Structure 1
């Protein structure tokens, strides 16, 4: 993997670059649609490629390990062969899913994590070593180190101990990753993850430690878990100022369109979030002019396109009235149209941000977009 930084915005810390992988080049800043179980919910791979114009998608180690399981994925030639996606894939290590299993008998210790499957209650163990092995089998282009995502709120002592254990786990991840090879003839790269909860001194320490490992890219975890946005922005800026400029920075699980714009301005290159598809299924539609609750009565007779400015098939072909009818009727097609549209918007947002960075016009455009994004149409 190779990252090339092309342009830095003169009025902010925003950057434009490109990331070369075995499955294609990714232009940054970029948003990665979330395909947790090997699929972006309600969206065909053709729509991801041709309509949404996704450049990379995300899968999840925890979910894919449990179902369909590693045997079938390996027989298919990895996740690319299994789901037919021929562009880059990133896999989350399962650390966040393990965090979300708190209260189900999950046990965390120095060796790893013992947890119960949400599917059948079976007991499983994740360690830094076997999580590397699992992600080798899944075959993603970018794989994540195994970490502990601390809850919010979290006391300082717990946050420090968790961060230090995450660093020790990272050393074990690197040792295992570097002693094994890819299985399917394409290269894989490992990203460490910065932790430290909401404590600035811990975040600084973690970012410095992560950077010292010298991997090809770095991630920022443990944010967007309930803390105020202002804290997320402050800590993101602190960490981005430490992480190397010549390597991509990935802010995990973020976020709203406004979050993404703000964090691009702070120097983040890569994002993922379930929001565009999850909110789509509930009738929240992001547009270039503001946010629509498509269930509202005002859209019942509105035969204009969902978003005439956006481009893309579903956004210009289907009307607001028709989409409202489908969503109100709980028709499956409504969730599909809304999901494709919202993802199209998210990719439009980061692609336009890139264009504005390249042109030196990012900050004025960002302010204009933020004013539109607070509008509830």
Structure 2
């Protein structure tokens, strides 16, 4: 049974309830002052607390999609295999489709509800391989659009996050289909993945000296792979990027560092400086320039203003990035080329419920800044 299985969650809850009932039932028998009675009381309390903690943890993981499997939880995630064709010496492509599914609420026909394809992306320059989901809107399959190209939005989770959460918890494909159907945004291709492309390490979308070249993967390899497989626009005006938390930081940074690739970037509950902790390790290896440029506020103050559009979000109550977001807005407004927009909620925590409130207007904003 998988980590996200409803059966596992139900069993953990039942086990916690049984332990609680057993504690109440056995407590009078363990009321004596002998070491066995004291040990029994301590053991029952510890087991009950542990069972309750496991149940709450499994429930939170179901709601927020932190880990997709037991291997993911314990840092033993195994990346999916990449098919290599050897016929006539043909090399493996940079993008492989390994499965497909329909869009929630969209029906079974791709030309009516669109389609979600599970793919493997292989970086030809960085040699990074990572799974992703690609949402293709219904218009992509229409016969009249056989030669039409579509704008692309790269969608990133937080850390650790799962790409599945973008589909099943944050409902990006369903939201994009509904907004396009209502005429509130143009049909767009969504490429959905986690920024953790070298798990379990949190690379913060940095080209780590002597390590994973994550920023180059998102700025070069991913657009090349998607462009080689799907009918997408080739100009920067056709590409945008959006993410939450760590993914939001990455989205803003990639749009700022690479305006020649991404015309717009949206950071939902983003922070503005790469952290340094046990999950990241030493990201910069003593490279002071790399460290400074990973600080987005320093970048706005000390580098040429990037010709790109940025969207940031926060809330007055519930988000720790509120003051930093206001400061970032002021810095961007002071530039001559960087266009800044914001969504500021009255209240909302750093969680899926908040992001689900921000995703529809953020997708509309992104759509308005991209073209074929």
- Whether TM exceeds 0.5 here: the answer is no
Q: Tell me which structure has the larger Cα radius of gyration.
A: 2
Q: TM-score, normalised by structure 2?
A: 0.30
